[in-house]
Amino acid sequence: MTKIIRIFRPEPAPVAAPEVPISEVITPARKEPAVEVPATITLAKVCHSEPPAAATPAGNKIERVIEKTAPKEEPLQAKPTPKPATATRPEAQISEVVTPAQKEPIVEASTQITLSKVSQPEPIEASVRPVAKESRTDLSPSLRSALDDKSSEKKPTPKEPAAEILPPVEKQIDRSTHQPREEKASSSLAIRTESSSPKEAKAEIKPIFTGQVEITPALDNPARLRQIKGVISVNDIANRELLDLVPYEPGKPVDDVAREIGLDPASIIKLASNENPLGPSPLAMAAMHKAIENCHFYPDGGGFHLRNAIAHTFDLGRENVVLGNGSNEIIELLFHTFTRPGIHEIITARHAFAVYTLMAQLFGVHAIVVDDVDFTPDLPAMLKAVTPQTRLIFLASPNNPTGTRVTNEALDAFLRDLPPHVIAVLDEAYYEFLDNPPDTVGQVKNGARVVLMRTFSKIQGLAGLRIGYGLAAAEIANLLQRARQPFNANLIAQAGAMAGLADVEHQKKTKAITDEGRRLIEDTFAKMGLKYVPSSANFVMVNVGDGGEVFKRLMKKGIIVRSMVSYHLPAYIRVSIGTPEQNARFLAELPGALEGLVSFPRP
């Protein structure tokens, strides 16, 4: 039994000691702190007829001596107080307890001290018991293990067996053998039964799971995972949002169709991915050939020259330009920068580019989908859908896959009424095909909370390089730059993009051939009685009754179009504008592909 004796200086009259915080205890034989406990102790009034045997050092009002056995001294006289006789000291962490005769710590563990009822002539007793292991989960595994070893040496024998769930214990490595040491507990579900003898304690280890498992914080370390009995599937440790994700379905490549159908690749025309039928700019091709000579060097990680060229084209500063591995990467940077999983939301149109919602699912962000009006985004409805958790609104104009656009007046009103906690993301991949485009660059110059996404894949004809960019106010662009991976725009892509941006003549030719081909295709659809969506881009979406079947029939003829099944428009296909020869071939094969699916009006 550990006993505590308080010794006071002799006073002629009873002295009441106020409540004081005791930070350290000093004994006559030891000047270093013996106990360091943040606590408050209420001392009762004590009277002495004569001084105690031990002299109190000058300047010390209170001296407390802690010894293993009670000293032989005159008993203290305790005066009753109005408060209950039981004095309880709050839980405290004791680092060491030292007696006058012992210089080394005799207790080194997290403990709780409860003072029992004070009665004379017996001194105050202090009962010491280790803190439960569950309350030490904030300690490091090595320290927790060390404390377990210390406390187990003087652990009191319980009156009856008790079950305890062991906390996770990290495996320790034996430095001599470099092998994991045996642990006291090998499973977070192992049950330890305490008995009167430590040797009788048994540990029953059970498998943590037999199938799919959620990796909880208790298991989220290599030592715990190695203890799992059974087979861990890759899906058990994969991102849950990723498991439910349906991958984006791009247009079918020419080589795939050639292998599947057994056709000569040169005989196949691809009108599925809205690519430039004229190919890359001649200036871009020359620049790329020259850049190949230096492809053993890393590219300019900051894209200094390309960003300057883009900024000069739109009368902006380099700080307003962010390069991306295609404009798709700008979408990803926006999610990294402005959304948090399970907290924020985005808003998009019903028949918008599929990557918006796919990226939201991947990031664990809720996507609010607003219905269209005649395949055109409903801007007032999108504003009404905004919540305090909304961070991004994606708007494509012209929209892919429908080809529709919003009017300039509607867009201005939308941006004017946009709440300040929302970023408007304007996808302008087909911006260059508009006859009267909106002044969205002016919005950037005015500091509006918008991000314009542009690409070199369409009118510049550089889809294979995967190079795009974003335009935004400097404070927004700076945040996106922080989320960007280094060297995301490769050396050849930067060289080709700079040259393609400067080749205005090639862009004019591309727009002219697109406008001509779109008019021809739409007029033919109208004569055939097919319902199509008037387009402002380099493609047209048309109702053919069964888009999946028409896609297969045309593919057998060596013509690749895009089925809209993945966009939840199973009756439609989307056809890109090609060269005059490609357009004519498509229109010639279309009636045969529609047999049995569409009834044409008689002439």
DSSP 164-215: EEPPP-PPPEETTTTEEPPPS---TT-EEEE-SSGGG--EE---S-SS----
Pick the closest to residue 550 from 573, 530, 523 (CA basis): 573
Same domain, yes or no: 487 and 390? yes
* Distance (Å, whole) CA 444 – CA 320: 8
Does 4 reside within a domain?
Answer: yes
Pick the closest to residue 601 from 528, 551, 492 (CA basis): 528
Same domain, yes or no: 361 and 488? yes
- What pLDDT digit, counting tens, does each position of 530-559 carry? 999 999 999 999 999 999 999 999 999 999
Does 147 reside within a domain?
Answer: no
* Distance (Å, whole) CA 545 – CA 97: 88
Average pLDDT over residues 156-173: 43
Same domain, yes or no: 31 and 170? no
* pLDDT exceeds cutoff 90 at 21: no
Does 489 reside within a domain?
Answer: yes
Domain boundary among 73, 102, 131: 131
The answer to whether 450 touches 397, Cβ cutoff 8 Å, is no
Six token digits for residue 302 = 């900051």
* pLDDT exceeds cutoff 60 at 176: no
- What pLDDT digit, counting tens, does each position of 493-503 carry? 999 999 999 99
Distance of CA 62 to the CA centre of its chain: 56
Q: Which residue has the tokens 């102790």?
A: 41
Same domain, yes or no: 494 and 544? no
The pLDDT score that the predictor gives to residue 252 is 83
DSSP state of 484: S
Does 139 reside within a domain?
Answer: no
The answer to whether 116 touches 86, Cβ cutoff 8 Å, is yes
Same domain, yes or no: 404 and 513? no
Helix (H, G, I), strand (E, B) or coil at 564: coil
* pLDDT exceeds cutoff 80 at 286: yes
The pLDDT score that the predictor gives to residue 86 is 47
The pLDDT score that the predictor gives to residue 247 is 79
Same domain, yes or no: 498 and 511? no
| φ, ψ dihedrals at 577, nearest 5° | -80, 125
Would you say how long the chain is, in residues?
603
The pLDDT score that the predictor gives to residue 347 is 98
The pLDDT score that the predictor gives to residue 480 is 97
Q: Could you tell me what percentage of the chain is helix, strand and coil, using 3-state DSSP and rounding each to the nearest 5?
A: 30, 20, 50
pLDDT interval class at 95 (50, 70, 90): very low
The pLDDT score that the predictor gives to residue 214 is 54
The answer to whether 85 touches 118, Cβ cutoff 8 Å, is yes
Burial class (CB in 10 A: 0-12, 13-18, 19+), 225: middle
Least confident of 93-107, 251-265, 430-444: 93-107
pTM for this entry: 0.64
The pLDDT score that the predictor gives to residue 2 is 53
The answer to whether 31 touches 24, Cβ cutoff 8 Å, is no
Least confident of 10-19, 171-180, 429-438: 171-180
The pLDDT score that the predictor gives to residue 343 is 95
The answer to whether 162 touches 131, Cβ cutoff 8 Å, is no
Extended strands (E) in 414-510: 423-427, 450-455, 468-472
Could you tell me which residues are beta bridge partners of residue 65? 5
pLDDT interval class at 168 (50, 70, 90): very low
More confident residue, 360 or 199: 360
Same domain, yes or no: 492 and 514? no
* Distance (Å, whole) CA 172 – CA 185: 12
Does 59 reside within a domain?
Answer: yes
Does 98 reside within a domain?
Answer: yes
Q: Which amino acid is at 456?
A: F
Six token digits for residue 7 = 């010794």
* Distance (Å, whole) CA 338 – CA 538: 32
Helix (H, G, I), strand (E, B) or coil at 526: helix
The pLDDT score that the predictor gives to residue 231 is 56
Q: What's the CA dihedral at 174, 177, 180, 181 to 10 degrees?
A: -60
The pLDDT score that the predictor gives to residue 141 is 55
* pLDDT exceeds cutoff 60 at 451: yes
Same domain, yes or no: 290 and 425? yes
The pLDDT score that the predictor gives to residue 173 is 44
Domain boundary among 483, 503, 523: 503
- What pLDDT digit, counting tens, does each position of 32-56 carry? 444 444 444 444 444 444 444 444 4
* pLDDT exceeds cutoff 60 at 370: yes
* pLDDT exceeds cutoff 70 at 67: no
Helix (H) or strand (E) holding 269: strand 269-270
The pLDDT score that the predictor gives to residue 239 is 80
- What pLDDT digit, counting tens, does each position of 118-140 carry? 444 444 444 334 444 444 444 45
Average pLDDT over residues 231-257: 79
Same domain, yes or no: 487 and 398? yes
pLDDT > 70: what percent of the chain?
61
Report the 10 Å Cβ neighbour count for 370: 20
Q: Which residue has the tokens 């106010």?
A: 473
Least confident of 1-15, 30-44, 72-86, 417-431: 30-44
Helix (H, G, I), strand (E, B) or coil at 464: helix
Average pLDDT over residues 13-28: 46
Average pLDDT over residues 57-66: 42
Same domain, yes or no: 205 and 302? no
The pLDDT score that the predictor gives to residue 245 is 79
Least confident of 71-75, 217-221, 565-569, 582-586: 71-75
Read off the CATH number of the domain in which 537 is found: 3.90.1150.10
* Distance (Å, whole) CA 427 – CA 455: 9
Average pLDDT over residues 84-96: 44
Average pLDDT over residues 250-257: 85
Count of domains forming the chain: 4
* Distance (Å, whole) CA 363 – CA 365: 5
Read off the CATH number of the domain in which 416 is found: 3.40.640.10
Q: Which residue has the tokens 């089925």?
A: 563
* pLDDT exceeds cutoff 90 at 291: yes
pLDDT interval class at 372 (50, 70, 90): very high
Domain boundary among 131, 166, 185: 131
Average pLDDT over residues 201-224: 53
The pLDDT score that the predictor gives to residue 232 is 67
The answer to whether 213 touches 229, Cβ cutoff 8 Å, is no
Q: Which residue has the tokens 């012209």?
A: 398
Report the 10 Å Cβ neighbour count for 524: 18
Same domain, yes or no: 264 and 306? no
* pLDDT exceeds cutoff 50 at 91: no
Domain that holds residue 209: 152-237
Long-range pairs, 57-60, Cβ under 8 A, ≥24 = 57/28, 60/26
Does 548 reside within a domain?
Answer: yes
pLDDT interval class at 235 (50, 70, 90): confident
* pLDDT exceeds cutoff 80 at 218: no
Helix residue ranges per DSSP H, 317-369: 327-338, 355-362
- SS3 track for 213-268: CCCCCCCCCHHHHCCCCCCCCHHHHCCHHHHCCCCCCCCCCHHHHHHHHCCCHHHC
Same domain, yes or no: 452 and 545? no
Does 247 reside within a domain?
Answer: no
More confident residue, 75 or 540: 540
Burial class (CB in 10 A: 0-12, 13-18, 19+), 585: middle
* Distance (Å, whole) CA 43 – CA 352: 76
pLDDT interval class at 201 (50, 70, 90): very low
The pLDDT score that the predictor gives to residue 407 is 97
